[in-house]
Amino acid sequence: MSPVKRQKKIVESVEINGNLCKGCDICIEFCPTDVFEKSDNLNRRGYYVPIVARVEECTDCRICDLLCPELAIVIKSSRQRRKTKADTSHGD
Ligand code: SF4
Ligand code: SF4
The rounded Å distance from CA 76 to ligand 2 centre is: 11
Helix (H) or strand (E) holding 14, with range, is strand 7-16
Assign a CATH topology to domain 13-86.
Alpha-Beta Plaits (3.30.70)
* Closest ligand to the CA of 55: 2
Calpha distance 84→42 (Å, rounded): 48
Prediction pTM value: 0.82
pLDDT in 10s for each residue of the chain, 92 residues: 555 666 677 999 999 999 999 999 999 999 999 999 999 999 999 999 999 999 999 999 999 999 999 999 999 998 765 555 555 555 44
The alpha carbon of 12 is separated from its chain's Cα centroid by a whole number of angstroms, namely 8
> Is any atom of ligand 2 closer than 6 Å to the C-beta of 76?
no
